[in-house]
Amino acid sequence: MKTLHLKAMDETAVNEIEKAAEILKNGGLVAVPTETVYGLAASAFDETAVQNIFKAKGRPNDNPLIVHIAEFSELNSIVKEIPPVCKKCMDAFWPGPFTAVLPKKDIIPVSVSGGLNTVAVRMPANSVTREIIKKAGLPLAAPSANRSGSPSPSTADHVIDDLEGRIDAVVISGKCEVGVESTVVTFATNPPRLLRPGGITVEMLKQFIPDLVIDPAVTAEPEKDAEVASPGMKYKHYAPKAEVFMAQGSIKAFCKYCEEHKNDFDFALCYDEDEVDLKIPHTSLGANEDHQKQAELLFGFLRDIDDKGYKKVIVHAPLKEGVGLAVYNRLIRAAGFKVIDL
Ligand code: TXA
Ligand code: MG
């Protein structure tokens, strides 16, 4: 299959938007930009097209997809009911990196929901993608547009590296400004539960959901055979081919450990404050407290690790506050939950 490259920097690229919408209406697969990461989209109502997403990504069938909408009116056809607390979050955070899990209507094929009776919905902030959804007149099921298991794509080049020749088209737009995937909250449980941290932080959510529960799998390895609320959390994720370890402790302890074990690691991922004393080759993800910058750079750096051929990498654990919690969540998975307590 030849992958069509459609360049659309903003919503004035009407021809490209029209072409992408046409492919989607005909059951094709199109990678689309969002403010978080690129998504691999197909009509959420088309069972065969949705199955083709799983094939192109090599994704396990029980890992459900997020349905992307452009207007609130589309919700009626997708979900059964919206609790008031969920509606408040939608009003506050949409369009944006917030995904709500709600009881689904039958029109959503089971392949979208991975066999569950709920569906995840979000309204992305990227205006090109919202125009594509409107032109197609369809909600779009879209997971991140990477090969399953590899870091999510925060640029169109990442998508092309992973999926060229496996999908019908890619809409090439700017960089994804958030850099990590959306915050996923399920409202199918009472109280609501955070399943995946992202650009909308726990602090922001708690303004509307004071009793929000943080699923333990956000920061730790789900126990074997434990029932996981979000199937995506049980898979090894975001993992470069290199063996990654996450070290948790102060700047001083991290630098000392790296010096003592300098023959064990060929590279370190750290923060600006670590760089002064760090004696092994490294890259900084930004300042300790600049969580937004860390999120923006994270997936590109995880891909670089493989491009450079590193075998063993040590990562300093980020602070678990604000968007830092999302960075922590992705890094501990990239490390396969191997944590060194300093
Ligand atoms: O920012 C994002 O969310 C990106 C862009 C493309 O929108 N999409 C994305 O999709 O990250 P994906 O498929 O890579 O991750 C979807 C996550 C998975 O962890 C999945 O298990 C969870 O959402 N999820 C989807 N439907 C669910 C459901 N019904 N119940 C619980 N978790 C669900
Ligand atoms: Mg993904």
Output the 3-class SS for the chain: CCCEEEECCCCCCHHHHHHHHHHHHCCCCEEECCCCCCEEEEECCCHHHHHHHHHHHCCCCCCCCEEECCCHHHHHHCECCCCHHHHHHHHHHCCCCEEEEEEECCCCCHHHHCCCCEEEEECCCCHHHHHHHHHHCCCEECCECCCCCCCCCCCHHHHHHHHCCCCCEEEECCCCCCCCCCEEEECCCCCCEEEECCCCCHHHHHCCCCCCEECHHHCCCCCCCCCCCCHHHHCCCCCCCCEEEEEECCHHHHHHHHHHCCCCCCEEEECHHHHCCCCCCEEECCCCCCHHHHHHHHHHHHHHHHHCCCCEEEEECCCCCCCHHHHHHHHHHHCCCCEEEC
Alpha carbon 118 to its chain's center: 19
Which pLDDT belongs to residue 60? 87
Tell me, using a 6 A CB cutoff, whether residue 183 lines ligand 1: no
Tell me, using a 6 A CB cutoff, whether residue 150 lines ligand 1: no
Tell me, using a 6 A CB cutoff, whether residue 196 lines ligand 1: yes
Is it the case that residue 184 has pLDDT exceeding 90?
yes
Is it the case that residue 128 has pLDDT exceeding 70?
yes
Which pLDDT belongs to residue 223? 75
Percent of the chain with pLDDT over 90: 89
Tell me, using a 6 A CB cutoff, whether residue 96 lines ligand 1: no
Give the pLDDT band of residue 239 (cuts 50, 70, 90): confident
More confident residue, 149 or 187: 187
More confident residue, 239 or 103: 103
Which pLDDT belongs to residue 253? 97
Which pLDDT belongs to residue 222? 79
Which pLDDT belongs to residue 236? 62
Which pLDDT belongs to residue 227? 66
Max Cα–Cα distance, the chain, nearest Å: 59
Tell me, using a 6 A CB cutoff, whether residue 143 lines ligand 1: yes
**Closest C-alpha to ligand 1, atom 20:** 232
CB 21, CB 128: distance < 8 Å: no
Choose among 135, 122, 129, 123: nearest CA to 173. 129
Q: Give the closest ligand to the alpha carbon of residue 180.
A: 1
Give the pLDDT band of residue 149 (cuts 50, 70, 90): confident
pLDDT digit string (tens) for 194-233? Answer: 999 999 999 999 999 999 999 999 999 877 766 667 776 6
Per-residue pLDDT, averaged over 187-194, amounts to 97
Q: Out of 89-93, 121-125, 191-195, 299-303, pick the least confident.
A: 299-303
Which pLDDT belongs to residue 27? 98
Give the pLDDT band of residue 117 (cuts 50, 70, 90): very high
Which pLDDT belongs to residue 34? 98
Tell me, using a 6 A CB cutoff, whether residue 119 lines ligand 1: yes
Which residues have C-beta under 5 Å from ligand 2, the single-atom ion? 144
Which pLDDT belongs to residue 233? 67
Q: Give the closest ligand to the alpha carbon of residue 36.
A: 1
Q: Please state, in angstroms and rounded to a whole number, the distance separating the CA atoms of residues 16 and 20.
A: 6
More confident residue, 263 or 224: 263
Per-residue pLDDT, averaged over 99-126, amounts to 96
Give the pLDDT band of residue 150 (cuts 50, 70, 90): confident
**Closest C-alpha to ligand 1, atom 7:** 39
CB 210, CB 234: distance < 8 Å: no
Number of residues that this document lists for the chain? 342
Per-residue pLDDT, averaged over 269-292, amounts to 95
Which pLDDT belongs to residue 163? 97
Q: Give the closest ligand to the alpha carbon of residue 200.
A: 1
Tell me, using a 6 A CB cutoff, whether residue 195 lines ligand 1: yes
Per-residue pLDDT, averaged over 144-163, amounts to 94
Closest approach atom of ligand 1 to CA 142:
6
If one residue of 35, 61, 65 were mutated to test the ligand 1 pocket, choosing by the most ligand atoms within 8 A of its CB, it would be 65
Tell me, using a 6 A CB cutoff, whether residue 326 lines ligand 1: no
| Rounded distance from Cα 250 to ligand 1 centre (Å) | 33
Is it the case that residue 33 has pLDDT exceeding 90?
yes
| Rounded distance from Cα 196 to ligand 1 centre (Å) | 8
**Closest C-alpha to ligand 1, atom 18:** 232
Is it the case that residue 235 has pLDDT exceeding 70?
no
pLDDT digit string (tens) for 40-78? Answer: 999 999 999 999 999 999 988 888 999 999 999 999 999
Is it the case that residue 148 has pLDDT exceeding 80?
yes
- Arithmetic mean of pLDDT over the chain: 94
Tell me, using a 6 A CB cutoff, whether residue 154 lines ligand 1: no
Q: Give the closest ligand to the alpha carbon of residue 152.
A: 2
CB-based contacts of 125, cutoff 8 Å, min separation 6? 34, 35, 95, 96, 97
State the pTM of this model: 0.96
| Rounded distance from Cα 152 to ligand 2 centre (Å) | 6
